[in-house]
Amino acid sequence: MNEAFEFGELFATPLLRTSNSLLAKRMLPICQSILKDKDSLTYHWGYKTTYTPEGGLEQDERMKPFTTYLYRIAKGFVRTVGLDVDVESNPQIFISQLDRGDKHARHCHPGSTVSGVFYISVPDESSPIKFFDPRPIKEFNHHPLLGETPYNTPTTVFPPASGDMIMWESWLHHEVPPNRSNERIAIIFNL
């Protein structure tokens, strides 16, 4: 007897990954200059960052090459995901630098629709970004596994390279494990 079955996926979690190493090289001295300005730094999470809840660098003319690129990519992302969102209406852009031992605990970005990170400088041994399965029940149902598959893994880790941009819907939980390098610089955005 021949059995036919169809195997599909439900509740996909969109995540975009693209790369622009030339833009990262262009933005590196700009980001370094901003990070050297003590008045711009907040150390909001215990590491060097320009984050403030009120806003950030979205209006800074030096960031224009990045924001132009960001909005173009984000418009394609929201269109593909099927969201009716103006990604330029209320952006929040800031720069963070993680040095040895710096980390960012598991979190999401409430109040935003799309979030992401553009990696400017990623020295050897820099921390990856780690995403968590968004289905809460998966944290409580533990079954023996034959092996790890895309359907049963509780986390996904992306080791970044300079120029990588990763974009996701803001509800997706993620973290940055303790960093093992110095000057891991990234532009973070919420749209």
* Per-residue DSSP letter, 162: T
The percent helix, strand, coil of the chain (3-state, each to 5) is 25, 25, 50
Look at residue 1 in the predicted model and tell me its pLDDT: 65
Q: What is the pLDDT of residue 167?
A: 98
Chain Cα centroid distance, residue 59: 20
Instruction: Specify the pLDDT at position 54.
Output: 84
107 by DSSP, 3-state: which? strand
What is the reported pLDDT for 151? 79
Give residue 5's pLDDT.
80
Domains of the chain (ranges, CATH numbers): 15-190 (2.60.120.620)
C-alpha to C-alpha distance for 182 and 191, rounded to whole angstroms: 28
pLDDT computed for residue 4 by the predictor: 80
Tokens of residue 27, six digits: 């933005």
Per-chain mean pLDDT for the chain: 93
Spell out, as residue ranges, where the chain has pLDDT lower than 50: none
pLDDT of residue 10: 80
Question: 16: which 2 tokens?
Answer: 């975009």
